[in-house]
Amino acid sequence: MIAHPGSEVRVLIRSRPTANFAQELIEYLPDGQTVSVHQRKDSRKGVVNNQLSSWSFRLDGVLHDVSQEEVYGRVGRGVVLGALEGYNGTVMCFGQTGAGKTYTMTGATENYKQRGIIPRALQEVFHEVEQRSDHAFSVHLSFLEIYNETLVDLLASVRGCPGVGPGGMAVVEEAGGGVSVRGLSLHPVHSEEAALNLLFEGEMNRIIGAHALNKNSSRSHCILTVHIESRSRTLSDAKYVTSKLNLVDLAGSERLGKTGSEGQVLKEAMYINKSLSFLEQAILALADRRRDHVPFRQTKLTHALKDSLGGNCNTVLVANIYGEASQIEETLSTLRFASRMKCVQMDPVVNEHTDPVLQVRKLEKEIQLLKQELSIHNTLANRMGMSYDTLSETQVAEIQSQVRRYLEGSLDEINDQFMLLVLSSVWHMCCVLNRQQEQKVKAQLCQNYTLVEKAQSTAGSTAAKVSLCLMLGPVAIKMVLLQTS
């Protein structure tokens, strides 16, 4: 499903299964889109109080007690199919630590049925590539980890990896508002199996720690990007499309007291919480359409996700919650983030490009055909000698000599063959003068303004002058020749 320009980011809630699901506090409404959360007042202070505060959040769907297959179908499939058509896509999981983000994105490795969105997306990409034989696809993978504000290439250990350049890794902005990570390796992949091997390799390199709420807690944010390029095999045009499919597993926010983290795990938690709070700030700014500045550069995470949070991207967020009563505050804060994200606007467009080499080849072919057409036209109009190629030195000398004789009066009549040569010459002079004039105007503009390249051709006026010459005959040509000599 491709988002319509101007629609909002799709947001779904997924709850981690638990025997102690707080039904009295978390209520999923029958519309399948609304969740109400009730919180006992002053529960933090231990005051016994039966009063409840309630909040209601309307999102795009609730994934409660559903299989991994259904999650992929409702969250991932549309974004993946869009990426194959040339739309950028992002699937991102957000939520407190232990709420099931990694389970949703990667899944349980020990059970095929429990594989998550990433392996299913890779499977779908290669299945589609095989099906769409009228297109040639090229697929590359990159796997970025952001750990304690440091960018790490999770596929740097892969054989043949070019390695990081002298400047190290950095998020860089591209023309047109996109971002890329300088120094991050890109790996060509030709099959699902090869892609899964890279995913496995990257997962092995991820930093995992243990604390009270999750014994396998991701201590970093991870972005697996599938870079897709597709060209038609049937149309020989120079157009091709590209897209980036970002599959993002964020580290979980955590209450330091609750997780009982110490030492390195505590330090990591502080970095994670800080980057997530900057992510919230960026989302707040994106959701507020009156704000023209979004603070993307405050952390590596927001900077790396600059082109993935709405805008020219088909974005879906999964808000993972852990529905136990003891986690109700974290659930509320996840749902608040989710409802802000739902206000972020998307304007996805197909990323279409033109291959310059193919374009030149195509234009040359077109010129050749037009010349042939023109020569047929000239033959029919009895102008068989008319040439649109550059005149040879002998032809130029011949014209000069005849013009001189004609102007001196020693030549009374100009024959047809000569006229055609003259017309050809006028055509070329007009072209040369036109180019010179264009360059002059450009140079003048450059002095005062930043020149905006615009194909503002004056070819029309050249063509008009030539047709005028054709209409008026030798007198006009004489004038043009006198003017330009």
- What is the contact surface with ligand ATP in residues (CB under 6 A)? 16-17, 95, 97-103, 108, 214, 216-218, 251-252, 320
CA distance 350 to 451: 28
DSSP secondary structure letter of residue 48: -
Contact residues for 53 (Cβ-Cβ < 8 A; gap 6+): 38, 39, 41
Q: Name the pairing type of β-strands 89-95 and 314-322.
A: parallel
Three-class secondary structure of residue 53 per DSSP: strand
Q: CB of residue 136 vs ligand ATP: minimum separation in angstroms?
A: 37
Q: Is 102 annotated as a binding residue?
A: yes
Whose tokens are 């030709």? That residue is 190
**Cα atoms in the 13 Å half-sphere on the side-chain side of 299:** 20
Is the Cβ of residue 89 or residue 98 nearer to ligand ATP in the bound state?
98
With helix as H, strand as E and coil as C, how does 271-303 read? Answer: HHHHHHHHHHHHHHHHHCCCCCCCCHHHCHHHH
Is the Cβ of residue 16 or residue 231 nearer to ligand ATP in the bound state?
16
Q: CB of residue 13 vs ligand ATP: minimum separation in angstroms?
A: 12
Q: Which two tokens stand for residue 225?
A: 């990007």
The end-to-end CA distance of the chain, in Å, is: 65
- Cα–Cα distances (Å) from 245 to 206, 223, 380, in that order, read 20, 10, 57
Q: Is 395 annotated as a binding residue?
A: no
Q: Is 282 annotated as a binding residue?
A: no
Provide φ and ψ at 311, rounded to 5°.
65, -135
Is the Cβ of residue 111 or residue 450 nearer to ligand ATP in the bound state?
111
Q: CB of residue 293 vs ligand ATP: minimum separation in angstroms?
A: 30
Is the Cβ of residue 141 or residue 269 nearer to ligand ATP in the bound state?
269
Q: Is 163 annotated as a binding residue?
A: no
Q: Is 101 annotated as a binding residue?
A: yes
Q: CB of residue 244 vs ligand ATP: minimum separation in angstroms?
A: 23
Q: CB of residue 217 vs ligand ATP: minimum separation in angstroms?
A: 3
Residue nearest ligand ATP, Cβ-based: 252
State the DSSP string of 306-320: TTTSSBSSEEEEEEE
**Cα atoms in the 13 Å half-sphere on the side-chain side of 157:** 12
Is the Cβ of residue 214 or residue 230 nearer to ligand ATP in the bound state?
214
Q: CA nearest 270: which of 250, 255, 248?
A: 255
Q: CB of residue 1 vs ligand ATP: minimum separation in angstroms?
A: 23
Q: Is 473 annotated as a binding residue?
A: no
Q: In the beta sheet, which residues pair with residue 34? A: 58
The angle at the Cα of 465, spanning 430 to 378, to the nearest 5 degrees, equals 85
Is the Cβ of residue 96 or residue 315 nearer to ligand ATP in the bound state?
96
Q: CB of residue 163 vs ligand ATP: minimum separation in angstroms?
A: 29
Is the Cβ of residue 119 or residue 311 nearer to ligand ATP in the bound state?
119
Q: CB of residue 306 vs ligand ATP: minimum separation in angstroms?
A: 23
Is the Cβ of residue 68 or residue 424 nearer to ligand ATP in the bound state?
68
Q: Is 409 annotated as a binding residue?
A: no
DSSP secondary structure letter of residue 46: T
Three-class secondary structure of residue 126 per DSSP: helix
459-472 vs 416-448: helix crossing angle, rounded to 10: 150
Q: Which two tokens stand for residue 41?
A: 């007042």
DSSP secondary structure letter of residue 233: S
Name residue 355's amino acid: D
Contact residues for 315 (Cβ-Cβ < 8 A; gap 6+): 3, 9, 10, 89, 90, 92, 308, 309, 344, 346
Q: Is 96 annotated as a binding residue?
A: yes
Q: CB of residue 148 vs ligand ATP: minimum separation in angstroms?
A: 15
Is the Cβ of residue 332 or residue 477 nearer to ligand ATP in the bound state?
332
Is the Cβ of residue 89 or residue 95 nearer to ligand ATP in the bound state?
95
Q: Specify the DSSP element, H or E, that contains 430.
A: helix 416-448
Q: CB of residue 67 vs ligand ATP: minimum separation in angstroms?
A: 9
Which residues are part of a known binding site? 95-102
Which residues are part of a known binding site for ATP? 95-102
